[in-house]
Every structure is written in C-alpha cells, then in structure tokens.
Structure 1
Amino acid sequence: MQTDLVVPVKMLPEAKSRLRGAVRPEEHTNLVLAVLLDTVTAAANADGVRRVLVVSSDPTVASVLADEGFECVPEGGPGGLNEAFRHGAMLLRQSDRQSDKAGQIGALQADLPALRPSELAEAIKTADGRRAFCADRQTTGTTLLLSAAGEPLNPRFGVGSAGKHAATGAIALTEAWESLRCDVDTAEDLLAARDLGLGQRTSALLCAMAGGPIEC
C-alpha cells in the first residue's frame, strides 16, 4: 500500500513567525523555503510514499516548488491549517480512485528540515494502514497524521493536537524517530534540528550566514 502526503504552507509573510530572529530578517523567507524544500525532498524519498502534494496559495512557494519538480496547489479557501489538509486530501482522493478504496493519506508538517526518509518510512510501515499519528518533541503537537486506509484524514491540528488526534481513535506511534518529531517553530527548535543533521538547503543557508544568530 502506498501513502500520499499533504504538506500545507502559509503565505510567506505569515509563515513561521516564531522563527523570526533565528536568522537575519532579510533571510527569513529563504529559511522558510529551505526548510520546506528539505522536508518535501526527504518525504518524497521515503519508501512507501507515492506523492507529496503541497498546498499553498503563495506564488513564490508554488514557483520554487515547480522549479524543483514538486506538486503545489492553491488552498481551497480560507479556514487555516486543517482546511488546507482537508483540501489536499480531497484532491488526492479525487485524482486517484484506487486510493479511495485502499490508499492512505498523510498530513505532514512543512517544518521538518532534519527529516530522514528512513524514519518517515518506518512510521508509515508501523502504522500498517491504521489511523495513526506521531507527536512532536514536546509530545503535545503532531508532525505526522495518517488516515486509515481508504478513510478520511480528519485532521485536528492546533494547540494540543496530539491529544485531539488520539481522541479520534488514532494510535500513537511512540518510537524515537527524532528527525520526524523535530518540527521547527523556534530558534531553539532549529538548533535541535541542526544537531540532528539538517537537510542540504537549510544547512547551506545557515553556513552561508557565518556570524548569524544560528550557524551551521
């Protein structure tokens, strides 16, 4: 069974606001894009992942992703993160009728710059077609949500999302998988991701900024 992933991204002026200050102000957009590209590149290279669909109405995000060969569609309308996940899941189901019957849809956060394809693949394999989620380092948020095979994604992202997803019947995937759990919301998170080993683009950006707030 193959898994298709939805990865939502806000408009760049609004994206990762808590990361402002982790790099020089003029590099904030480049940091968001580098983190995104490292995330989707790792996801696309994970065994068991068939498609990675980014949902974003930002034209720069769409252009950069197209240049790198990734799919991007605009948001279906206002509604925030969960609506973006639902919209992407709907498009994936509509475009592949076979997945309506047996396929698995996953919701993956866009801020996992240290993500290792092997850890994502292991999480998907462990879920084994069941509704499941992986909590973040703090154990309260969610970095990955997987639908049951052929079932709705039913995302509940936001404050305390790990508990909300558990309440919907999703099983908690409890293996270590440090890179899958290390989403980046703050400068402290970025340091933790750096220590795990950043993806090529995020690492190159930080290394080019020698003397900045966070170095490679």
Structure 2
Amino acid sequence: MTGTGWVAVMPVKRLAMAKTRLRGAVPASLHDRLVLAMARDTLAAVLACPLVRRALVVTDEPAAAAALAELGAERVPDRPDAGLNAALARGAALAAGAPVVALTADLPALRPDELTAALTALSHRPRGYVADATGTGTAMLAARPGVDLDPRFGPGSAHAHALSGAVRLDGDWPSLRQDVDTEADLAAATALGLGRHTAELVGAARYGGR
C-alpha cells in the first residue's frame, strides 16, 4: 500500500490521569514526564514511517498538544470523559478519505519499519488489527479508505476487533506489539530499545535525575 498516505490517529489522555498502573515505575515527580516521553517516541516513530503522511493527536492536555505539535502532529480537541474509542473515532472522521491507522501513545520502542510492515500486511483487506504482546489487547487498528475504523479498544479488544470483522495481522513486530501499561511492560520495552525521549527519562530516574 505504498503511497496511499495513511493518517495516523493517536489519543493522549490528561497526563495526571494517564497510566495509573505504571505509577511507581519512576519517581512520582517523573510520572507525567514519562507518559509524555512515551507519546513523543511513539509519534516520532509513526511520522518516520514512509507510509504515514499525517498524524492526528486527539487530546485536551495542553502540554501534550504543544510537545507533539513540535514533532509534526496536528491536534484534534478531545471531549472530556468521552473515552478512548470516541477519541479515535473523532480523529478518524477527519482523515478526509485517507486510510486510517489508530495507535495508542504508549509504544516507546516502536520501529518505523515494523509499522510499515504491518500496514503493508493489510494489503487489500478492508480492516485489520495487530494484537499486543499479551495477545488480548490491540496495538494497532487500521482501515482502508471508506471503511469505518470502528475502534473497540479496552479489555479483550483483540477478540472484540476480530468479532467486528477486522482481520488479525500477524508478523514479527515486537516493537509494535509492546505497549506499556505496567513496570514489567516498561522493562520489556527497554529490552527492545526505547526511543530517545523515554530512554533519557528512564535514565534520569535510574540515576536520580529530576
């Protein structure tokens, strides 16, 4: 699907409310910065994918909107308490007929070539998803032009997306599958190789930085 110009949609919660299960992985004073660092690394990898031409970040977090705009994202205002799937649908509605790929903002080890391979694997199928490292969640959901994204993220989302008709896409894409919800997830992402912003933050936490 080279040259089709994918639009990536990535929701980002208010930093104070995000990644509650990850609290304790770094000192409390660095938690919000860790969440933002992961979002920055995710976005940087997404924008480095040659198949992606735009990135829409759905957020009502001012710090995230500013930091991600510096990397090239376009901000879509979020609606408070609307939820993850509503945010993704809101962003997808602004894709102007382009194919849409939805990703969460917690893929700090993401490699652009793995995202490229996953999008290419969709081929001519209308809609597909990549399961996360646990096999139960969803790391990526993609839809061709004119096809409703129909996001169903949340507990058991891989099964929910399969039931909705999305095709499961399988490949050797560990950095795409490794989302970070817990300290163990962060360790797994670190083993794969973190992006620059997250690596610097984790290094600062490890060596007593502020």
Counterpart in 2 of 1:30?
A: 33
Does the 8 A contact of 2:30 with 2:205 survive in 1?
no
Counterpart mapping for 1:112-127 below 5 A: 112-127=107-122
TM-score with structure 1 setting the length:
0.91
Is residue 40 of structure 1 aligned with residue 36 of structure 2? Answer: no
Counterpart in 1 of 2:190?
A: 194
Please state how far the C-alpha of 1:209 moved relative to its aligned partner: 2.4
Is residue 73 of structure 1 aligned with residue 81 of structure 2? Answer: no
Please state how far the C-alpha of 1:70 moved relative to its aligned partner: 2.1
Give distance in 2, aligned partners of 1:129 and 1:174.
15
TM-score with structure 2 setting the length:
0.93
Please state how far the C-alpha of 1:211 moved relative to its aligned partner: 4.1
Moved more, 69-78 or 116-125: 69-78
Give distance in 1, aligned partners of 2:206 and 2:182.
19
Please state how far the C-alpha of 1:191 moved relative to its aligned partner: 0.2
Counterpart in 2 of 1:53?
A: 56
1:145 to 141, 146, 150: 141
Is residue 87 of structure 1 aligned with residue 90 of structure 2? Answer: yes
Is residue 185 of structure 1 aligned with residue 188 of structure 2? Answer: no
Q: What are the superposed Cα offsets for residues 19-59 of structure 1, whole Å, 9 maximum, x if unpaired?
A: 10000000001100100000000000112111111100011
* Uncovered stretches (5+) of structure 1, i.e. residues with no partner: 94-98
* Uncovered stretches (5+) of structure 2, i.e. residues with no partner: none
Give distance in 2, aligned partners of 1:76 and 1:92.
18
The alignment's C-alpha RMSD in Å is 1.5
Give distance in 1, aligned partners of 2:207 and 2:79.
41
Cα gap change, 1:79 to 1:106, in 2 (>3 Å):
same
Moved more, 70-79 or 36-45: 70-79
Q: What are the superposed Cα offsets for residues 135-162 of structure 1, whole Å, 9 maximum, x if unpaired?
A: 0000000010001332111001111000
Cα gap change, 1:202 to 1:168, in 2 (>3 Å):
same
Give distance in 2, aligned partners of 1:170 and 1:22.
34
Percent identity over the alignment is 48
Give distance in 1, aligned partners of 2:78 and 2:8.
15
